[in-house]
Protein backbone atom coordinates (compact mmCIF):
# COMPACT_ATOMS: atom_id res chain seq x y z
CA UNK A 1 0.00 0.00 0.00
CA UNK A 2 1.40 3.42 -0.94
CA UNK A 3 1.96 6.10 1.68
CA UNK A 4 -0.94 8.16 0.28
CA UNK A 5 -3.27 5.14 0.20
CA UNK A 6 -2.34 4.32 3.78
CA UNK A 7 -3.00 7.91 4.87
CA UNK A 8 -6.35 7.92 3.08
CA UNK A 9 -7.42 4.56 4.51
CA UNK A 10 -6.83 5.93 8.01
CA UNK A 11 -9.43 8.62 7.30
CA UNK A 12 -12.32 6.19 7.67
CA UNK A 13 -11.10 4.53 10.84
CA UNK A 14 -13.93 4.59 13.37
CA UNK A 15 -16.52 5.91 10.89
CA UNK A 16 -19.82 4.01 10.88
CA UNK A 17 -20.55 2.96 7.29
CA UNK A 18 -24.35 3.21 7.68
CA UNK A 19 -24.85 0.43 5.16
CA UNK A 20 -22.67 2.05 2.50
CA UNK A 21 -19.06 2.00 1.43
CA UNK A 22 -17.30 3.45 4.47
CA UNK A 23 -15.54 6.01 2.25
CA UNK A 24 -18.91 7.52 1.36
CA UNK A 25 -19.84 7.89 5.02
CA UNK A 26 -16.33 9.18 5.82
CA UNK A 27 -16.79 11.95 3.24
CA UNK A 28 -19.78 13.29 5.18
CA UNK A 29 -18.00 12.78 8.50
CA UNK A 30 -14.97 14.83 7.45
CA UNK A 31 -16.97 17.45 5.55
CA UNK A 32 -19.07 18.13 8.65
CA UNK A 33 -15.91 18.51 10.75
CA UNK A 34 -14.61 21.10 8.28
CA UNK A 35 -11.91 18.70 7.10
CA UNK A 36 -12.67 19.38 3.45
CA UNK A 37 -9.34 18.18 2.08
CA UNK A 38 -9.77 14.86 3.86
CA UNK A 39 -13.39 14.59 2.66
CA UNK A 40 -12.17 15.21 -0.89
CA UNK A 41 -9.43 12.57 -0.65
CA UNK A 42 -11.53 9.82 0.89
CA UNK A 43 -14.34 10.11 -1.65
CA UNK A 44 -11.90 10.50 -4.53
CA UNK A 45 -10.48 7.09 -3.65
CA UNK A 46 -13.95 5.57 -4.07
CA UNK A 47 -14.64 7.51 -7.28
CA UNK A 48 -11.35 6.40 -8.83
CA UNK A 49 -11.90 2.78 -7.80
CA UNK A 50 -15.44 2.59 -9.17
CA UNK A 51 -14.50 4.28 -12.40
CA UNK A 52 -15.30 7.66 -13.79
CA UNK A 53 -17.88 6.20 -16.16
CA UNK A 54 -19.73 4.24 -13.49
CA UNK A 55 -23.32 4.91 -12.49
CA UNK A 56 -23.19 7.72 -9.96
CA UNK A 57 -19.71 8.89 -10.99
CA UNK A 58 -20.83 12.48 -11.57
CA UNK A 59 -22.55 12.39 -8.15
CA UNK A 60 -19.26 11.51 -6.48
CA UNK A 61 -17.44 14.02 -8.64
CA UNK A 62 -19.87 16.76 -7.59
CA UNK A 63 -19.34 15.99 -3.91
CA UNK A 64 -15.56 15.96 -4.44
CA UNK A 65 -15.77 19.34 -6.18
CA UNK A 66 -17.91 20.71 -3.36
CA UNK A 67 -15.27 19.70 -0.82
CA UNK A 68 -12.55 21.16 -3.06
CA UNK A 69 -14.37 24.49 -3.16
CA UNK A 70 -14.53 24.56 0.63
CA UNK A 71 -10.80 23.76 0.81
CA UNK A 72 -10.23 27.02 -1.08
CA UNK A 73 -12.68 28.97 1.09
CA UNK A 74 -11.16 27.67 4.31
CA UNK A 75 -7.58 28.39 3.18
CA UNK A 76 -8.60 31.93 2.21
CA UNK A 77 -10.27 32.44 5.60
CA UNK A 78 -7.22 31.19 7.49
CA UNK A 79 -4.88 33.71 5.83
CA UNK A 80 -6.76 36.16 3.58
CA UNK A 81 -3.82 38.53 3.08
CA UNK A 82 -1.39 35.86 1.86
CA UNK A 83 -0.91 36.44 -1.90
CA UNK A 84 -1.65 32.81 -2.78
CA UNK A 85 -4.75 32.66 -0.60
CA UNK A 86 -6.11 35.93 -2.00
CA UNK A 87 -6.59 34.10 -5.29
CA UNK A 88 -8.68 31.25 -3.82
CA UNK A 89 -12.18 32.73 -4.14
CA UNK A 90 -12.55 32.49 -7.96
CA UNK A 91 -11.44 28.81 -8.04
CA UNK A 92 -13.89 28.08 -5.20
CA UNK A 93 -16.63 29.71 -7.27
CA UNK A 94 -15.77 27.58 -10.31
CA UNK A 95 -15.70 24.35 -8.28
CA UNK A 96 -19.06 25.21 -6.70
CA UNK A 97 -20.51 25.65 -10.18
CA UNK A 98 -19.10 22.31 -11.33
CA UNK A 99 -20.47 20.62 -8.20
CA UNK A 100 -23.88 22.16 -8.81
CA UNK A 101 -23.90 21.02 -12.44
CA UNK A 102 -22.75 17.48 -11.65
CA UNK A 103 -25.22 16.99 -8.81
CA UNK A 104 -28.24 18.59 -10.51
CA UNK A 105 -28.72 15.60 -12.79
CA UNK A 106 -29.52 13.23 -9.93
CA UNK A 107 -33.09 14.25 -9.13
CA UNK A 108 -34.37 15.01 -5.65
CA UNK A 109 -32.64 12.14 -3.80
CA UNK A 110 -29.66 9.97 -4.76
CA UNK A 111 -28.09 7.35 -2.50
CA UNK A 112 -30.45 8.65 0.18
CA UNK A 113 -28.96 12.15 -0.02
CA UNK A 114 -31.21 15.15 -0.63
CA UNK A 115 -29.63 16.61 -3.75
CA UNK A 116 -31.50 19.91 -3.55
CA UNK A 117 -29.90 20.64 -0.16
CA UNK A 118 -26.39 20.19 -1.53
CA UNK A 119 -27.11 22.05 -4.77
CA UNK A 120 -28.66 24.83 -2.66
CA UNK A 121 -25.51 25.01 -0.55
CA UNK A 122 -23.30 25.31 -3.65
CA UNK A 123 -25.62 27.88 -5.21
CA UNK A 124 -25.81 29.95 -2.03
CA UNK A 125 -22.03 30.05 -1.62
CA UNK A 126 -21.62 31.06 -5.28
CA UNK A 127 -24.19 33.83 -4.85
CA UNK A 128 -22.42 35.11 -1.74
CA UNK A 129 -19.10 35.23 -3.61
CA UNK A 130 -20.51 37.22 -6.53
CA UNK A 131 -22.64 39.50 -4.34
CA UNK A 132 -19.51 41.21 -3.05
CA UNK A 133 -17.51 40.73 -6.26
CA UNK A 134 -15.19 38.14 -4.71
CA UNK A 135 -14.14 40.48 -1.89
CA UNK A 136 -15.83 38.61 0.95
CA UNK A 137 -15.48 34.96 1.85
CA UNK A 138 -18.83 33.44 2.88
CA UNK A 139 -17.12 30.67 4.89
CA UNK A 140 -16.11 30.84 8.54
CA UNK A 141 -15.68 28.15 11.18
CA UNK A 142 -18.95 29.14 12.84
CA UNK A 143 -20.79 29.07 9.49
CA UNK A 144 -19.24 25.89 8.11
CA UNK A 145 -21.89 23.90 6.26
CA UNK A 146 -23.07 20.48 7.35
CA UNK A 147 -24.35 17.77 5.06
CA UNK A 148 -26.95 15.22 6.10
CA UNK A 149 -26.35 11.54 5.46
CA UNK A 150 -29.34 9.27 6.13
CA UNK A 151 -28.78 6.53 8.66
CA UNK A 152 -28.98 3.56 6.28
CA UNK A 153 -29.85 2.66 2.76
CA UNK A 154 -32.85 0.38 2.46
Domain boundaries, the chain: 3-9+19-143
Please give the Cα distance from 71 to 125 (Å, whole number). 13
The percentage of residues in the chain with a pLDDT greater than 90, rounded to a whole number, is 66
H, E, C per residue of 91-152: HHHHHHHHHHHHHHCCCCEECCEEHHHHHHHHHHHHHHHHHCCCCCCCCCHHHCCCCCCCCC
The domain at 3-9+19-143 falls in which architecture?
A: Orthogonal Bundle (1.10)
For range 78-91, the mean pLDDT: 88
**pTM assigned to the model:** 0.91
Tens of pLDDT, residue by residue over 122-147, are: 999 999 999 989 989 999 999 899 99
Amino acid sequence: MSKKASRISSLWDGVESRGRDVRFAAYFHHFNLGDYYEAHDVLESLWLEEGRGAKGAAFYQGLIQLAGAFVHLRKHYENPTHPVHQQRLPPAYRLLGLAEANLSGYGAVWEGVKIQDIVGLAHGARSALTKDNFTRNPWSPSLGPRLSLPEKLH
